[in-house]
Copies of this chain bind each other. A is one copy, B any other.
């Protein structure tokens, strides 16, 4: 996970046979660096050019567009994350454990990568074309991973049948986001473990007071 927050996503550098121009890397790094300071829309191509040390024109050579630049950078991050998530989930058995892993992963990603989170939770939302973008495709890929876990859970009888899976997924995703949103907004740190524990309890067992809810659940 550290590589993601510190360097350009591997995908951009790894791809076979492409020597990856230096300028392209500089530009992407400059954008990331700037995103740590301000919202994407508040970043100008002039600033990107200045910080990267290359000309503005080069941005257009490589990315065609300011938005494209963002989406490519974003895409790199997300693909890496999703690849890793799927990899880790592969080793875990049991619906609940997998669900727990997923929740923790997401909360951990958000905590360890504030820039990405900021963008995903706040910035891109308002962007009109975001939901057609490739990045959003990755968000859907993430949704799918959850759905698979949930479906499996129902099949195995571990999850209840009388609630639509889509609703479950939305509550889980919404829960994750809203657990860390205030922290992001007010720029406070949080413990992914603690939030995972809370969210997991609530979503799994509900908030109603029942004898069962006093047992340890994780």
Write the residues of chain A forming the contact surface with B, with a CB cutoff of 8 angstroms: 38-39, 41-42, 96, 121-123, 125-126, 128, 131, 157-164, 167-168, 170-171, 173-179, 181-182, 185, 195, 198-199, 201-210, 212-214
Contact = CB atoms under 8 A, between A and B. Distances in A.
Contacts of A42: 128
A163 B201 contact: yes
Contacts of A159: 207-209
B125 A198 contact: no
A73 to B, nearest CB: 17
User: Which 9 residue pairs spanning A and B have beta carbons closest together?
Assistant: A174-B178, A174-B174, A206-B206, A167-B198, A205-B206, A170-B178, A171-B175, A160-B209, A160-B213
A184 B158 CA distance: 31
Given A131-B185, A162-B214, A210-B212, 18 more contacts: A39-B126, A39-B128, A41-B41, A42-B128, A96-B208, A121-B125, A122-B126, A157-B209, A158-B209, A159-B207, A160-B207, A167-B198, A174-B174, A174-B176, A175-B175, A203-B207, A204-B206, A204-B207
B128 A125 contact: no
A202 B168 contact: yes
A111 to B, nearest CB: 15
Contacts of A213: 160, 162
